[in-house]
């Protein structure tokens, strides 16, 4: 079956799942980030600025024409499963931030030590998201379409809105974070 004969919704499934999980994961990781670093205004800015910076680095890496990137392009649908261990890694880094920096729980996090652990700890999911988004724009089933970047962006955005809403509503309903993670991982 060629990209032309494949129904549009099947071609949209990969960027839709990419966006769904990326924003659901961001919702869950944002809670861990706030808990680890005391949730004041500087922490909010640090989370989103480092998230966007790592997205940019991932997107830059996805532009490469290296053989391993081209191989990933052929198996983009399977590469989405990399989100699962990467999410677990980022969550562990955030939950271990005080232990990694030797800052006791009763002490305010010193700003420089916070930067030293928060910026790299925020990398895994956002780095992978930027990388996968860029690959999705070159993914063969969508690359032949009119405006492939626009199509990927539309489907990824719709998936992201649904993922963030699903995670937020599930958490608001009292679901455990682990249950929300598993539920949001299903589309992958």
Q: Helix 67-74 crosses helix 123-138 at what angle (to 10 degrees)?
A: 80
Query: Is the pLDDT at 14 greater than 90, yes or no?
Result: no
CA 41 to chain centroid: 22
Which of the four pLDDT bands, split at 50, 70 and 90, describes residue 7?
Answer: low
Contact 59, 134 (CB under 8 A): yes
Crossing angle of helices 177-185 and 148-172, in 10° steps, is 150
Q: Mean per-residue pLDDT for 23-46?
A: 91
Q: Please give the model's pTM, rounded to 2 decimal places.
A: 0.87
Question: 34-43, 67-76, 118-127: which range is least confident on average?
Answer: 67-76
């Amino acid at each position: 079956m060629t990209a032309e004969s494949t129904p549009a919704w099947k071609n949209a499934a990969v960027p839709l799942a990419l966006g769904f999980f990326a924003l659901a994961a961001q919702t869950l990781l944002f809670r861990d980030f706030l808990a680890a670093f005391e949730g004041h205004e500087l922490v909010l800015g640090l989370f989103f600025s480092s998230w966007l910076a790592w997205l940019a680095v991932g997107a830059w890496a996805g532009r490469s024409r290296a053989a391993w990137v081209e191989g990933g392009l052929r198996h983009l649908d399977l590469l989405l499963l990399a989100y699962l261990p990467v999410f677990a890694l980022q969550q562990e880094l955030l939950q271990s931030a005080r232990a990694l920096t030797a800052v006791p729980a009763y002490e305010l996090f010193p700003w420089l030590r916070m930067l030293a652990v928060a910026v790299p700890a925020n990398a895994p999911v956002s780095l992978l998201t930027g990388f996968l988004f860029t690959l999705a724009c070159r993914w063969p089933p969508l690359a032949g379409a009119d405006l492939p970047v626009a199509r990927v962006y539309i489907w990824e955005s719709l998936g992201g809105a649904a993922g963030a809403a699903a995670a937020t509503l599930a958490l608001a309903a009292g679901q455990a974070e682990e249950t929300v993670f598993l539920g949001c991982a299903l589309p992958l």
